[in-house]
Chain A
Amino acid sequence: MKSVAITSGKGGVGKTNVAVNLGISLADLGKRVLLFDADLGLANVDILFGFVAQHNVADVLDGKLHLRDIMVEASNGMQVLPATSGFLQLEHPSQSELAKLAGQMDELSQDFDVLLLDTGAGLRDTVLFFCSAAEEVLVITTPEPTAITDAYAMIKVLTADYQVEAIKLLINEAVNDKEARQVFDKLANVSKAHIDFKPDYAGWIAKDALLETAVRRRKPVVQSYPSAPASQSFQRLAKDFDAIFTSQSRHLISGFWEEVLQRRKVSSNLS
């Protein structure tokens, strides 16, 4: 199972839309997709899909259910792990709670080809946890200046403090390929010059009013308007997926987090 965290420095740049529509497009290509709504306290994947989840991550953290029990089939070939909105406790999960979720996702790995982690925005503990646990991170920005600076800040922290090496940039709401390229080049050049890191180009998603309409209709754009420009962008992104994302596969609790959690265990055993 290939795990990809979808994130952004700034909120409101279309993370959840990308996660949902990329997920459906991948499922349409025959991949078995698991989408985890990892913006735990402010979850909204279910809203985009128009379903109401019976159970969610809160029940898993309570120990009542396994992640497997809360999966919902949101589209043919795509399962969603819904979170919940408005649960303060979930906005600040502890490291051991996060590790529990990641561990259970690892247990589900053989049933899926792709795990998409729809994280929240900004440099919050939960976001950084999932980004550093996933094999690759897809950072989303729009051509808007504040989104660009925050995307860069995110890349900087992920590479400097969390040893994340595989970061792809997706330019959302771009007018055309040229604009997207310009945004990417700017970010890539600054990253290269200041932090000696070069993110990869994941492509771009067309700015499209139908996407908004789809959100209001609570049916993802690739399903409600399959030939809309934004939908075509998502289908293209899904087709490029294997090429864009390397096909290595490892568990979420490995590398960086295995070390951290191991250290935790050792120090808590000592005290």
Chain B
Amino acid sequence: MKIFEQLLEDYVVDKDITPQALHDKIGAGLVYWADLDLQSLEIDVEPTNNDRINMTAAMQNLLTVLSQLILEDSLTGLFNRRYFKRALKSEMERNVREHRPVGLAVIDIDHFKRINDTWGHNVGDEVLKAVTMIMNRNVRQSDTLIRIGGEEFAVVMPNIRYQAAGDAMERLRADIANSIIPVDSDELRTSVSIGIAVREPNQIIHADELYKQADQALYQAKETGRNKVVLYGPPASTGLSSSEREALL
């Protein structure tokens, strides 16, 4: 029941979901419950061990479906904001234990409102899906892609160095900028701005702070012309070039 309690807590905390939507989602999950054929169980008869096992399995199925529904973004199939903080926090905790750096990129589609206004929301949705597809082919298996809101995405990158995170996101940015997105009988191009922050193993930074840093970098990317990648920092000495490093040692 722990997952369920946590989900409900999330619901109360961010109120991102309307009661009706939650109700619908629980309704969908209950289909699994019905599979159990509860009617066959007589109320005053003590359930057998087998019944208990079945019920537990059904309950677990229900919870899995519920958590997927609640943590997934239905349009893109990515994780949603609700999953974001939890994923980032647990990834950071794991990386602290393993003494590895962790990177966070925040990605925002440039002038997305303009796309929506000019082409309509259906096209806007197509663009979100197309961008998701391009992002998916540019991140590593161990990375987690999340849609954190409207046209804003995040990539949690475990065990990545400052420079490598920048390179990876630069590839992603270029791929999006060079892609042609087919919409209706037309096609369009778009671009993204990306802010990155990396927590080095020796730094004391918690998840909120890392997010703030990546967001600040994103803001800078937007301010200075969009369609670009900006790295927050650099953290002590990781931002040094090899020639600087050599000269100092």
Cα of A91 to Cα of B234 in the assembled complex, Å? 19
Chain B interface SS verdict (over half)? loop
Cα of A153 to Cα of B240 in the assembled complex, Å? 7
Which A residues from 138 to 197 make CB contacts under 8 A with B? 145-146, 148-150, 152-154, 156-157, 186-187, 189-190, 193-194
User: Which A residue's beta carbon lies closest to that of B246?
Assistant: A190
State whether A156 and B204 are in contact (beta carbons under 8 Å apart), knowing that A145-B248, A149-B249 are contacts in the complex.
no
Shortest Cβ gap from B221 to chain A (Å)? 15
In the complex, are the beta carbons of B240 and A149 less than 8 A apart? yes
A261 on the B face (CB < 8 A): no
Residue in A124, A189, A193 with the greatest tally of chain B CB atoms within 10 Å:
A124
Shortest Cβ gap from B246 to chain A (Å)? 9
In the complex, are the beta carbons of A123 and B248 less than 8 A apart? no
User: Which A residue's beta carbon lies closest to that of B233?
Assistant: A123
Identify B239's interface contact among A125, A148, A153, CB under 8 A.
A153
User: Which B residue's beta carbon lies closest to that of A148?
Assistant: B248
State whether A153 and B234 are in contact (beta carbons under 8 Å apart), knowing that A92-B209, A122-B203 are contacts in the complex.
yes
**Given A123-B235, A149-B248, A153-B234, 10 further pairs, Cβ under 8 A:** A9-B236, A123-B236, A124-B203, A148-B248, A148-B249, A152-B240, A153-B238, A156-B240, A189-B247, A190-B244
Residue in B203, B234, B248 with the greatest tally of chain A CB atoms within 10 Å:
B248
Chain A interface SS verdict (over half)? helix
Chain A, interface residues (CB within 8 Å), range = 20 to 34
Which A residues from 86 to 130 make CB contacts under 8 A with B? 91-92, 122-125
Identify B236's interface contact among A92, A125, A154, CB under 8 A.
A154
A selection of 17 A-B contacts at a CB cut-off of 8 Å is A9-B237, A91-B204, A92-B208, A122-B235, A122-B236, A145-B249, A148-B249, A149-B240, A152-B237, A152-B244, A153-B234, A153-B235, A154-B236, A156-B240, A186-B247, A187-B248, A194-B244
Report A's interface with B, CB cutoff 8 A: 9-10, 91-92, 122-125, 145-146, 148-150, 152-154, 156-157, 186-187, 189-190, 193-194
Chain A neighbourhood of B243, CB < 8 A: 194
Chain A neighbourhood of B247, CB < 8 A: 186, 189-190, 193-194
Cα of A153 to Cα of B239 in the assembled complex, Å? 7
Cα of A264 to Cα of B245 in the assembled complex, Å? 36
Shortest Cβ gap from A122 to chain B (Å)? 5
Cα of A145 to Cα of B234 in the assembled complex, Å? 19
Report B's interface with A, CB cutoff 8 A: 203-206, 208-209, 233-241, 243-245, 247-249
Chain B neighbourhood of A122, CB < 8 A: 203, 235-236
In the complex, are the beta carbons of A152 and B248 less than 8 A apart? yes
Cα of A149 to Cα of B238 in the assembled complex, Å? 9
Chain B neighbourhood of A9, CB < 8 A: 236-237
Identify B234's interface contact among A123, A146, A186, CB under 8 A.
A123
Shortest Cβ gap from A157 to chain B (Å)? 7
State whether A153 and B209 are in contact (beta carbons under 8 Å apart), knowing that A122-B203, A145-B248, A194-B244 are contacts in the complex.
no
Chain B neighbourhood of A152, CB < 8 A: 237, 240, 244, 248
Shortest Cβ gap from A34 to chain B (Å)? 27
Cα of A123 to Cα of B205 in the assembled complex, Å? 11
User: Which B residue's beta carbon lies closest to that of A94?
Assistant: B212
Cα of A122 to Cα of B204 in the assembled complex, Å? 10
In the complex, are the beta carbons of B204 and A153 less than 8 A apart? no
In the complex, are the beta carbons of A153 and B249 less than 8 A apart? no
